[in-house]
């Protein structure tokens, strides 16, 4: 890959493919000057999806947040499938904060991809998300070291439950 294409890819991945964010940071003119084709951008989106899907972890929610950012700019059913499958297998052993952040990321990914996924996948992903949120509500508050409630505008278990209930409602709105 030549130097210009490499720089274009750096900008593209830094802003998750969002021309709007590039514009806000004063980088859209530079990016456009590289004349990257839609086909190449699609390859880059798919590379980012693969990378962040492999990085999914119960230790934090960075990968799901990155996938959520990508989903706002590029829709791909594999993103929903990978996140829902990972969550179904792993997320219930995470702390309450990770569960909430992961579920909120899933809500955004599902919402952004709703038009490109099958009904079966939509229902599966929504079911997993609601199960995570209901687990937050019904189980005791568990916080790992380094995850402070105040960092997430949460005061106590009651405010955590309230936010989880709002997210359940968001999932129901997606289904309607």
Interval 16-73: pLDDT, tens: 999 999 999 999 999 999 999 999 999 999 999 999 999 999 987 899 999 999 999 9
Burial of 111 (0-12, 13-18, 19+ CB in 10 A): middle
Q: How far apart are CA 106 and CA 63, in angstroms?
A: 11
Q: Is the pLDDT assigned to residue 98 strictly greater than 80? A: yes
Distances (CA, A) of 42 to 27, 48, 74, 88, 94: 20, 10, 8, 28, 33
Please give the pLDDT value at position 145: 86
Q: Is the pLDDT assigned to residue 1 strictly greater than 80? A: no
Please give the pLDDT value at position 29: 96
Query: What residues contact residue 140 under an 8 Å CB cut-off, 6+ apart?
Result: 157
Percent of the chain whose pLDDT exceeds 90: 89
Mean pLDDT of 168-173: 98
Structure tokens at 127: 């079911």
Number of alpha carbons in the 13 Å side-chain half-sphere of residue 58: 14
Please give the pLDDT value at position 147: 85
Across the chain, mean pLDDT equals: 95
Please give the pLDDT value at position 43: 98
Please give the pLDDT value at position 146: 83
Q: Is the pLDDT assigned to residue 80 strictly greater than 90? A: yes
Please give the pLDDT value at position 73: 96
Whole-prediction pTM:
0.92
């Amino acid at each position: 890959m030549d130097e210009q294409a490499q720089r274009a890819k750096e900008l593209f991945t830094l802003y998750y493919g969002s021309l709007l964010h590039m514009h806000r940071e004063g980088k859209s003119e530079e990016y456009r000057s590289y004349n990257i084709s839609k086909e190449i951008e699609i390859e880059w989106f798919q590379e980012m999806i693969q990378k962040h899907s492999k990085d999914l972890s119960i230790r934090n929610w960075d990968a799901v947040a990155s996938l959520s950012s990508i989903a706002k700019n590029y829709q791909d059913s594999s993103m929903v499938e990978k996140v829902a499958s990972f969550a179904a297998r792993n997320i219930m052993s995470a702390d309450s904060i990770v569960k909430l952040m992961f579920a909120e990321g899933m809500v955004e990914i599902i919402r952004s991809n709703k038009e490109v996924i099958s009904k079966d996948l939509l229902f599966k992903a929504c079911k997993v998300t609601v199960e995570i949120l209901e687990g937050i509500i019904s189980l005791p508050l568990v916080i790992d070291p380094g995850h402070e409630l105040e960092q997430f505008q949460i005061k106590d278990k009651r405010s955590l439950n309230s936010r989880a209930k709002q997210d359940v409602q968001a999932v129901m709105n997606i289904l309607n």
